[in-house]
Chain A
Amino acid sequence: MSRLPFGPAPTLLIVVCVLTAAWLALAPGPDVPPDGVTRLHVLTFAQTHYDAYKVIIPEFEASHPGVHVKLELGDERAVTSRLQSAFWAGTKTPDLVEVEIGAVGMFFRGPLDEIGFTDLTDRVHETGLYDRIVQSRFAPWSSRGRIFGLPHDVHPVMLAYRRDLFEKEGVDPADLDTWDKFVAAGRRMTRDMDGDGIVDQYMIELSDSAHGDLEPLLFQRGGGYFDADGALTMDNAIAVETLAWYVPLVVGPGQIANSLGAGQILTQAMEDGFFLCLLCPDWRSAVIENDMPRLSGKMGLMPLPRAEPGGRGTSTWGGTMVGIPKQSPHPDLAWELALYLYYAPEPFEERFRNTNILPPTRDAWDLPAISEPRAYWGGQRIGDMFVSIADETPPQYTSPYTPLAKTKLGEAVLQCVDYYKHNGEEGFRDFVAQTLKEKADDIRALLERNPFL
Chain B
Amino acid sequence: MSEYLLEMKDVSKAFPGVQALNHAQLQLKSGHVHALMGENGAGKSTLMKCMFGIYRMDEGQIFMDGRPVVIKDPIDALSKGISMVHQELQQVPARSIGENIYLGRYPVKKLFGFIPMVDHKKMYADADRVLKKVKLPYDSTKAVGILSTSQMQLVEIAKAVSAGCRVLILDEPTSSLTESEVETLFDIINDLKKDGVAIVYISHKMEEILKISDEVTVMRDGHYIGTWDAKTLTTGDIITKMVGRELTRLYPERENVPGEVVFEVEDFTSINPKSFRHVSFSVRKGEILGISGLVGAQRTELMEGLFGIREHSSGKIKLYGKELKVSCPKDAIDHGVAMLTENRRVSGIMGALSVSDNISISSLKNYLDYGIAINSEKVEKLVAEDVEKMKIKTPSGETPIQTLSGGNQQKVIIGRWLANSPDVLILDEPTRGIDVGAKYEIYCIIAELAKQGKSILMISSEMGEILGMSDRIMVMCDGRCTGILDGKDATQEKIMALATQFE
Tell me, yes or no, whether A binds B: no
Chain B residues close to A by CB (< 8 Å): none
